[in-house]
Amino acid sequence: MKRCLLAVVSMLLLSFVGFAQMADSIQFKLDSINQSLHYQQGTIELESGNASLKVPAGFKFLDRTESRYVLEDLWGNPEDTSILGMLVPENAGVVGPNSWAFTISFDQMGYVKDSDAEDINYDDLLKEQQADAKAANAERAAAGYSTVELVGWASSPYYDKSKKTLHWAKELEFDGDSIHTLNYNLRILGRKGIFLINAVAGMEDLPQVKTSIEPVLASVSFKDGHRYADYDSNVDEVAAWTVGGLVAGKVLAKAGFFAVLLKFWKIIAFALIGGGTALWRFISRKKEDTGVPAGNEPV
């Protein structure tokens, strides 16, 4: 009986040691990915050529190339050539249980009229978008991506007429993912198009995202001649879409529901260990025991 008990204990100890070694290996790989990226601070000249970005306090910037690597290779999103960069929270990496970011791109769609901003029924608009999301799922599934349900507004649409900025947020549920995804949308209107800034996060990150909205919006500055107020009706093209159309997602409709930015850092761990939320809890507990917050790896 004692021999049998000793054998069981030995097997359990060996399993725990193996589990711990695996956790260390996973964490080492994640730390290596985070540390391999080249973050920037200060004022960034955006590749769109019409604006600069002053990295706000509490964030760090990734350029176009590394942003696409994160979004497409690490997070599992479809290819997106419009991405200009990403703002990543300063105390977090791009892979880990606390990872989230703002993506930045520009659409040269023309001058967006805002005369309809106060007339939009956002409840009706939500129902229409939920139907559109369902209709797009067949295309998503055929392309090998998870289907998605638009649960509702995570933050109701709001247009700031004085600053020419538009905000709204969606709560999304992806097939097979018990954690709901937050897609917080920001639009900055300019003379010849709009900046699209999207927060890619989990719903648990909503409070942090909301506190970052104003500094992130203020970080982008149009150059002289490119501001909304610089519009010249004699020479400038007017966009086919108004403010209501931007929220409705009818502009770039395929991207609006087909290429939703999904926080897919988990696939790295799954690929290495074949799944395992228990492993993440183990890693997190190890970091807490050593005084290092989980997910706040040095970068």
How many angstroms separate the CA atoms of 116 and 165, rounded?
Answer: 14
The DSSP result for 64-93, as a single string, is HHHHHIIIIIIS-PPP-TTEEEEEEETT--
How high is the pLDDT of residue 10? Answer: 52
Measuring CA to CA, how many Å separate 186 from each of 104, 182, 204, 275?
A: 10, 13, 19, 34
Measuring CA to CA, how many Å separate 209 from each of 58, 188, 202?
A: 12, 17, 10
Residue segments in the chain with a per-residue pLDDT below the cut of 70: 1-28, 30-31, 176, 249-299
8 A C-beta contact, residue 235 and residue 68: no
How many angstroms separate the CA atoms of 53 and 62, rounded?
Answer: 12
Q: What angle do CA 238, 82, 89 make, to 5 degrees?
A: 115
Measuring CA to CA, how many Å separate 198 from each of 102, 135, 261?
A: 5, 23, 8
8 A C-beta contact, residue 80 and residue 68: yes
Interhelix angle 266-273/2-36, rounded to 10 degrees, is 140
DSSP annotation of 223 reads P
How high is the pLDDT of residue 147? Answer: 81
Residue 141's nearest CA partner among 258, 238, 58, 226 is 258
Strand ordering across the sheet containing 51-54: 43-45, 51-54, 220-222
How high is the pLDDT of residue 152? Answer: 92
How high is the pLDDT of residue 11? Answer: 52
Torsion of CA 78, 213, 99, 71, to 10 degrees: 20
Task: Report which residue type is found at 211.
Answer: T
How high is the pLDDT of residue 257? Answer: 36
How high is the pLDDT of residue 176? Answer: 67
Q: What angle do CA 36, 42, 43 make, to 5 degrees?
A: 115
CATH number for the segment(s) 40-264: 2.60.120.1690
8 A C-beta contact, residue 137 and residue 242: no
How many angstroms separate the CA atoms of 243 and 117, rounded?
Answer: 6
